[in-house]
C-alpha cells in the first residue's frame, strides 16, 4: 500500500481536483482508497457522497465508520462539515498526530494506493495525513504566485519528516492552472527552479481548462475522464497519472 497526500496550505490550488483525477487513474491499475480530510468536503461532494452515514470525523473520534465504494476499484472515506471541530476534540489525546496512521493499519493489504485530500491548513489533520503518507504532492497554482507559500509548505513537510515520519518523500511539485501564454506561469516555473526545487517539479503541468471546472459542477460531478476524455484536462491528468505511478514505483524499489 502506497499512501499519497495532496497538500498545500494555500486554498484553491487544485489539491482536490488532482487527488480525484489521479485516483481515477490509479484505480485502473489497482485497488484505490480516497480519503477526504477536508471539512469543506469538496472531494466527497464531487463523488456525490455528501449524505454518507459516517465520515472521517468518526474515524478520528475512534467510532465505527464505513468506507463507500464510488467507482470500480475506487473507495472513499467521506468528509462533512462536522469535521470542522476535530482539532479541538483531539487536542488532548495521546498520539493525536497518529490517529489516521493507526486507523489505516488494518487496511494495509486491502489497497494498492491511498490518496488523501488535505485541507488548506497546516493543522493537526494535515499533520495526521503527512504522518501516515509515504509521499506528498504539492500542487501550486501557476497563476497567482507566492514563492513564500511554497517555501513554508516545504518547511512544514520537513518538520513532519524530522519529528513524525522519516520516510515522507516529496513525490513532486505540481504546476496547476498553467497557461504558457501568461508570463506569470513561466516565471513561477523559473522561481521554483531557482529555489533549487527544479528536480521535484513534475514534467506534466496541468493546463487551465474549463472542462475541469465543468466536470465538478453539481449537475455533473464526474472525473475529467468521464466528463470529456478528449479535453486537455483529461490528457494532462492522464500523463500526470503515468508520471506519478512511475515515480512511486521508482522510489519504492
Ligand atoms: N486546471 C484547471 N483549470 C481550470 N479550473 C481548475 C483547474 N484545476 C482546478 N480548477 C478549479 O479550481 C477550483 C479549485 O480547485 P480545487 O477545489 O481542486 O482546489 P483545492 O486546492 O482543493 O482548494 P481548497 O484549498 O479550497 O481545498 C475548482 O473550482 C476547480 O474546478
Ligand atoms: Mg480541496
Within 119-253, residue ranges assigned H as helices are 124-132, 147-163, 183-192, 210-215, 224-227, 232-252
Ligand 2 (ion): which residues have CB within 5 A?
15-16, 42
pLDDT band at 180 (very low <50, low <70, confident <90, very high): confident
CA of 12 to the centre of ligand 1 (A): 5
In 3-state terms, what secondary structure has residue 78? coil
Q: Which ligand is nearest to the CA of 216?
A: 1
> Per residue in 55-89, pLDDT tens?
999 999 999 999 999 999 999 999 999 999 999 99
Query: Residue range 81-102: average pLDDT?
Result: 96
195 vs 23, which has greater pLDDT? Answer: 23
For residue 81, which of 111, 103, 55 has the smallest C-alpha distance?
A: 55
CA of 30 to the centre of ligand 2 (A): 24
141 lines ligand 1 (CB under 6 A): no
| pLDDT over 90 percentage in the chain | 91
pLDDT of residue 157: 98
Beta strand ranges found along the chain (DSSP E): 2-6, 32-36, 68-71, 74-77, 113-117, 135-141, 169-176
Residue 146 has pLDDT above 80, yes or no: no
Nearest-10 crossing angle of helices 147-163, 124-132:
60
Q: How far is CA 104 from the centre of its chain?
A: 16
Mutate to test the pocket of ligand 1, among 6, 8, 11, 14 (most ligand atoms within 8 A of CB): 14
In 3-state terms, what secondary structure has residue 140? strand
Query: Residue range 22-28: average pLDDT?
Result: 98
> Per residue in 123-134, pLDDT tens?
999 999 999 999
What's 144's DSSP letter? Answer: S
pLDDT of residue 60: 98
pLDDT band at 193 (very low <50, low <70, confident <90, very high): very high
Residue 168 has pLDDT above 80, yes or no: yes
End-to-end alpha-carbon separation of the chain, Å?
14
Per the rule left: phi > 0, alpha: psi between -120 and 50, beta: everything else, 48 is: left
**Of all atoms in ligand 1, which is nearest to the CA of residue 233?**
1
Query: Residue range 14-23: average pLDDT?
Result: 98
195 vs 80, which has greater pLDDT? Answer: 80
Residue 147 has pLDDT above 80, yes or no: no
45 lines ligand 1 (CB under 6 A): no
CA of 178 to the centre of ligand 2 (A): 18
Residue 201 has pLDDT above 80, yes or no: yes
Q: Is 2-252 a domain of CATH 3.40.50.970?
A: no
pLDDT band at 149 (very low <50, low <70, confident <90, very high): confident
Neighbours of 214 (CB within 10 A): 16
Instruction: Return d(Cα 212, Cα 178) in angstroms, integer.
Output: 13
- Average pLDDT of the chain, as a whole number: 96
Amino acid at each position: 500500500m502506497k499512501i499519497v497526500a495532496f497538500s498545500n496550505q494555500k486554498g484553491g490550488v487544485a489539491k482536490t481536483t488532482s487527488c480525484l483525477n489521479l485516483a481515477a487513474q490509479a484505480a485502473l491499475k489497482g485497488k484505490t482508497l480516497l480519503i477526504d480530510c477536508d471539512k469543506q468536503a469538496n472531494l466527497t461532494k464531487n463523488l456525490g457522497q455528501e449524505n454518507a452515514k459516517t465520515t472521517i470525523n468518526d474515524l478520528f473520534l475512534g467510532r465505527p465508520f464505513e468506507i463507500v465504494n464510488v467507482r470500480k476499484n475506487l473507495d472513499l472515506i467521506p468528509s462533512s462539515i462536522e469535521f470542522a471541530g476535530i482539532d479541538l476534540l483531539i487536542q488532548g489525546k495521546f498520539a493525536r498526530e497518529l490517529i489516521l496512521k493507526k486507523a489505516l493499519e488494518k487496511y494495509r493489504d486491502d489497497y494498492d494506493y491511498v490518496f488523501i485530500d488535505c485541507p488548506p491548513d497546516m493543522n493537526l489533520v494535515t499533520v495526521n495525513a503527512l504522518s501516515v503518507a509515504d509521499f506528498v504532492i504539492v500542487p501550486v497554482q501557476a497563476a497567482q504566485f507566492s514563492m513564500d507559500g511554497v517555501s513554508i509548505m516545504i518547511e512544514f513537510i520537513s518538520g513532519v519528516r524530522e519529528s513524525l515520519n522519516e520516510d515522507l518523500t516529496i513525490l513532486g511539485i505540481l504546476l496547476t492552472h498553467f497557461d504558457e501564454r501568461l508570463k506569470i506561469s513561466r516565471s513561477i516555473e523559473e522561481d521554483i527552479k531557482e529555489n533549487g526545487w527544479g528536480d521535484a517539479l513534475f514534467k506534466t503541468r496541468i493546463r487551465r481548462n474549463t472542462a475541469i471546472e465543468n466536470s465538478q459542477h453539481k449537475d455533473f460531478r464526474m472525473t475529467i475522464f468521464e466528463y470529456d476524455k478528449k479535453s486537455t484536462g483529461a490528457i494532462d491528468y492522464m500523463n500526470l497519472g503515468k508520471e506519478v505511478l512511475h515515480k512511486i514505483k521508482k522510489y519504492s524499489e
